[in-house]
Amino acid sequence: ILNVEQSPQSLHVQEGDSTNFTCSFPSSNFYALHWYRWETAKSPEALFVMTLNGDEKKKGRISATLNTKEGYSYLYIKGSQPEDSATYLCALYMDTGRRALTFGSGTRLQVQP
Amino acid sequence: DADVTQTPRNRITKTGKRIMLECSQTKGHDRMYWYRQDPGLGLRLIYYSFDVKDINKGEISDGYSVSRQAQAKFSLSLESAIPNQTALYFCATSDSGQHTDTQYFGPGTRLTVL
């Protein structure tokens, strides 16, 4: 089974702080990396899909980078706000014969006002 | 109206009972998925279906079965529920199943097995 590791498991920051967290994965047979945002009591929603080494995506204050050669992606949040509080899930589509995403366990972010 | 709906939203049942969780979608997607979420474990894939005739086991299919009644409907059954199946269950859909396709999730079903 493919291991998709996310760190840290949880994070508490103050409003206005910038933060980042990591998704690590085996670098071989990589097809795509997805980031999802999951707020409590809601459904996970897609943030980014990344496919190319060196790819960078941005949506407002949130951005993500991808290094396929070394097997990691960083998600950055600039100037965290309380509404950014959520669990951020990383998922990979790999060439393992299984035609579906494999999710990491997530990073739970809490932003204190 | 939500594009992906799940029923029931909450269910409490007893060990040994048969339970069915239902998922419907109006997105017209071919691919549908069932996941379970346990604290600290993220989303784990139970079953997935590429169309009504193509159903595949995920990483934790033991103790579960599925039925794809139509393109829009994908049901998950627990034939004889046990307490360690207590979890939050999500249904999801995607369009063509390409590696870049976004998955769209339902609101989840919280199942408690006593």
Lowest-pLDDT range, A38-47, A97-106, B29-38?
Answer: A97-106
Candidates A5, A37, A48, A101: best to mutate against B (most CBs of B within 10 A) is A101
Token pair for residue B45?
Answer: 């894939």
A-B contacts (CB, under 8 Å) = 57
**For residue B46, which residues of chain A lie inside 8 Å, CB to CB?**
none
For residue B2, the model assigns a pLDDT of 67
- Residue B64 forms contact with A (CB below 8 Å): no
Q: What's the whole-number mean pLDDT along residues A77-88?
A: 97
Confidence tier at A6 by pLDDT (50, 70, 90):
very high
What length does chain A have?
A: 113
User: Which chain A residues touch B if contact means CB-CB below 8 Å?
Assistant: 1, 6, 9, 31-32, 34, 36, 42-46, 49, 51, 89, 91, 93, 98-106
**Residue of B50, B59, B107 lying closest to A43 (CB–CB):** B107
What is the per-residue pLDDT across B29-59, written as a single tens digit (0 to 9) for each? 999 999 999 988 889 999 999 999 999 999 8
Distances (CA, A) of B23 to A29, B76, B110: 32, 8, 13
Does residue A107 register a pLDDT over 70? yes
Which element (helix H / strand E) includes B25? strand B19-25
- Tens of pLDDT, residues A18-30: 999 999 998 777 7
Task: Chain A: give the shortest CA distance to residue B18, in Å.
Answer: 26
Q: What share of chain B in percent tops pLDDT 90?
A: 86
Nearest to A95 by CA among A47, A39, A38, A25: A25
Residues of B in contact with A106 (CB under 8 A): 42
Per the CB < 8 Å rule, is B100 touching A9? no
Nearest to A33 by CA among A1, A65, A80: A65
Contacts of B32 (CB under 8 A, 6+ apart): B23, B25, B48, B49, B68, B74, B91, B92, B93
pLDDT of residue A28: 73
Closest CA to B62 of B85, B42, B43: B85
